Structure 1
């Protein structure tokens, strides 16, 4: 069978689908919902989970206008209707209307927040619809009066002659103060460097710390209203790389970096939100000059292994962006802040020179996140860092010192082996590090995002940190 066709309407996101119905002497056949074909014509991959049928015995049955909190794909199994829709969402299109007559060859995709109604034009009309959330007892949603004078729907059968439920005869008129807000954005790990930057940059985002929502706590997860969110950004992580090598650290690292992302992937599949998860170049062993998104995982230490497990879990979510990043610098304690403080205090540190990578400033990571979400880029894994040539930690420290009126020579290069020996001599745990952390940025560039040079980001970061 051929592809259906799609027609837009004055209501953003509400589209009409002309189905390929095959008729013969026996009746007709149609593919009422065929996911691959629907996606091919531009319908969103809305993930239906329930199919309902509303059978209407008589001509003139009129239902609505109901604004249920889910997307719908409506069509007919038998009969004919006059369908009418009203945009009840916040925004410029609030109150916009669209109507048309439908038979069994027509379907309509109705996005969440658009009021849905219809009037049967024939007896024995079976109205069917797919939805992407399960119906829940006691759920409340806005409704609109069928006779509302503002929207003035041209019902073919006068409402005085129609068959209308008692409930639908007492719905309120259009009121802008009751406009439906879009689903929210949730930032997990809002107390960390990246979490703070995300909350500050994403208008209306709700940030929560682990104390407010622990995704490893089954009861807390069950009680949280996940269906209210369109996007969940997981900036929460266990990042104590060396402590992860201890018995307690191992358990905490796996809980935060593997179990929690697996839970979020499951919730994303169930509730349909887009999951944005932040990972690390530590999932690789550091033997490649630059790491690509499709490089096989090869983690070295416990922290790295837990992050790799989280990557595998997140990839199972239908709508996910997995952003691997490196050497993150933001608001709070970090390597650049430490070097800046040492330079100011007259200290001359020893810094490893055989670990090479690129800095990633949180504002750059936030900018990449927003770009992917707002551009509708293909879901999947992306490597994100600032651009420019790869540098060693020692070279980064030297750059900080030079911009702090100290000589680069005041930073003494050492090897990772020498650094590890010092830690082990003090009975401190030490995790293996990937020596090459630079990641290929071709895929994120192909998605239309151009990373800022790391040294330019460093300059701006140091200037900002000097302000009172």
Structure 2
């Protein structure tokens, strides 16, 4: 009997064979059939099962399958022996790939969503168990495959035409592989798709569902309840209330908190319930702007100055309750749409000499780099949590960046006047306090294997694109 827990991969991507330690004596045997901590540490996905099913096969030769379900399974034998076979029914290059093995009390198998499974009892009174991470929904149909499909070529120990074999009429009617519609992968949802960041995310997540708040109101419980979350695996929440000054008004405060705190909290609850990965975007405004050596780190305590920052901090805390989450904290976002760089370029071209604050210091973040960082974290399976994500390079003031825009567009940077934040705020109402030091430390992001472009290089490329 095995005395070591081991997990091995197979020819079907994601299909894992688990070798279970079984401890026996003259009374029988004992095993840890499912041990989350140990198994996850060895590479089993933390698939969060919600239901345990048992299948009893009265007689040797009982054969079931090949069935494909839209959930993950962990299959193990309680008593007897089973020949088991799997066929990859997912869209993609591995479609039709097969694997088979024999299962007894020493062996379990993790079956990923979209992989067809089939079982043939090799002894009377066989019982096998399977954990699943979603609930069965009556009336839904999923891909199935004929047990004797020639392309699968499954070597059934008991031939399917044997008098010992019992197969249901439904399974005998299953189609051959060339008539099977492959199971599509779960989808990605981008919320706030018409915003600067949403537009940058869309090309990196082709096929994603693109919605804005007029199509999915995150503050409306009925709209959230009606959305088909079970069809998704990844949610990118690029929607936010960013009118920082208006947030200081009575009306703006309520809208700001609803969008930046209540909505992310609702998404976090949904993500936990449906096992989704939730990506959310935060801001340097969650800090009060002290001059921190090396920049603000991800674990720095929150100290927001105004309503906008307070609401974003609350949203960060809510999103962190989702088991599978990324919070990307950023600053000074520049993308497709109205932004500081476009404004400075237009003023330069129009002959207007702006006055820009010179005591707020940070780095620009171009949405193309923020979107690329998002794709990197998600696609590489980086540890969940909060990551600072801006462009790299020296920290500069808004006035510095304004001068760079003038220079790069062929205008005299001396035309840019300067002022302090306090002086600029005089007479302006409503007015939100701004953090003076917004530079974010990027060590955690770069340690994950991603390095954004230098902000100055990205600014030059951005302005060249504007000029084309």
TM-score range relative to shorter protein:
over 0.9
Note the 1:373-388 alignment, pairs <5 A: 373-388=378-393
The CA RMSD measured in Å over matched residues stands at: 1.3
The partner residue of 1:184 within 180, 183, 187 is: 187
Q: Normalising to structure 1: TM-score of the pair?
A: 0.97
> Structure 1: where are the runs of 5+ without partners?
none
The partner residue of 2:218 within 192, 215, 218 is: 215
Q: Normalising to structure 2: TM-score of the pair?
A: 0.97
Return the alpha-carbon distance in structure 1 between the equivalents of residues 140 and 291 of structure 2.
53
1:167-207 C-alpha deviation (Å, 9 max, x unpaired) = 11111111276112211111000010000110122221221
- Give the deviation of 1:288 after TM superposition: 3.8
Matched-pair contact (CA < 8 Å) for 2:3–2:22: no
Matched-pair contact (CA < 8 Å) for 2:4–2:19: no
Worse-matched range after superposition: 436-445 or 157-166: 157-166
The partner residue of 2:424 within 419, 428, 435 is: 419
Q: Secondary structure at the match of 1:294?
A: coil
Note the 1:289-368 alignment, pairs <5 A: 289=292, 290-368=295-373
Return the alpha-carbon distance in structure 2 between the equivalents of residues 177 and 397 of structure 1.
58
Return the alpha-carbon distance in structure 2 between the equivalents of residues 54 and 237 of structure 1.
48
Please tell me whether residue 392 in structure 1 is matched to residue 397 in structure 2.
yes
Return the alpha-carbon distance in structure 2 between the equivalents of residues 451 and 404 of structure 1.
23
Note the 1:54-133 alignment, pairs <5 A: 54-133=55-134
Worse-matched range after superposition: 262-271 or 338-347: 262-271
Return the alpha-carbon distance in structure 2 between the equivalents of residues 200 and 419 of structure 1.
38
Return the alpha-carbon distance in structure 1 between the equivalents of residues 344 and 322 of structure 2.
39
1:27-71 C-alpha deviation (Å, 9 max, x unpaired) = 111111111111111111111111111122221111111100001
Return the alpha-carbon distance in structure 2 between the equivalents of residues 262 and 163 of structure 1.
50
Please tell me whether residue 195 in structure 1 is matched to residue 198 in structure 2.
yes
Please tell me whether residue 134 in structure 1 is matched to residue 135 in structure 2.
yes
- Give the deviation of 1:405 after TM superposition: 1.9
Matched-pair contact (CA < 8 Å) for 2:143–2:180: no
Return the alpha-carbon distance in structure 2 between the equivalents of residues 118 and 40 of structure 1.
28
Return the alpha-carbon distance in structure 2 between the equivalents of residues 459 and 246 of structure 1.
37
Q: Secondary structure at the match of 2:87?
A: strand
Q: Secondary structure at the match of 1:422?
A: coil
- Give the deviation of 1:338 after TM superposition: 0.5
Return the alpha-carbon distance in structure 1 between the equivalents of residues 318 and 55 of structure 2.
38
- Give the deviation of 1:422 after TM superposition: 3.5
- Give the deviation of 1:25 after TM superposition: 1.6
Partner of 1:273: 276
- Give the deviation of 1:139 after TM superposition: 2.2
Distance 1:177 1:400, change over 3 A: farther
Matched-pair contact (CA < 8 Å) for 2:284–2:438: yes
- Give the deviation of 1:2 after TM superposition: 6.7
Q: How many residues align?
A: 463
Matched-pair contact (CA < 8 Å) for 2:306–2:433: yes
Matched-pair contact (CA < 8 Å) for 2:358–2:419: yes
Partner of 1:18: 19
1:98-129 C-alpha deviation (Å, 9 max, x unpaired) = 11111011000001110011011111111111
Q: Secondary structure at the match of 1:269?
A: helix
Matched-pair contact (CA < 8 Å) for 2:362–2:396: yes
Distance 1:422 1:410, change over 3 A: farther
Return the alpha-carbon distance in structure 2 between the equivalents of residues 215 and 51 of structure 1.
33
Please tell me whether residue 205 in structure 1 is matched to residue 208 in structure 2.
yes
Matched-pair contact (CA < 8 Å) for 1:3–1:37: no
1:248-304 C-alpha deviation (Å, 9 max, x unpaired) = 111111111111111111111111121111111111111142100010111111111
1:15-35 C-alpha deviation (Å, 9 max, x unpaired) = 100001111122111111111
Structure 1 stretches of 4+ with a deviation exceeding 4 A read none
Return the alpha-carbon distance in structure 2 between the equivalents of residues 435 and 297 of structure 1.
15
Worse-matched range after superposition: 47-56 or 330-339: 47-56
Partner of 1:35: 36
Matched-pair contact (CA < 8 Å) for 2:86–2:116: yes
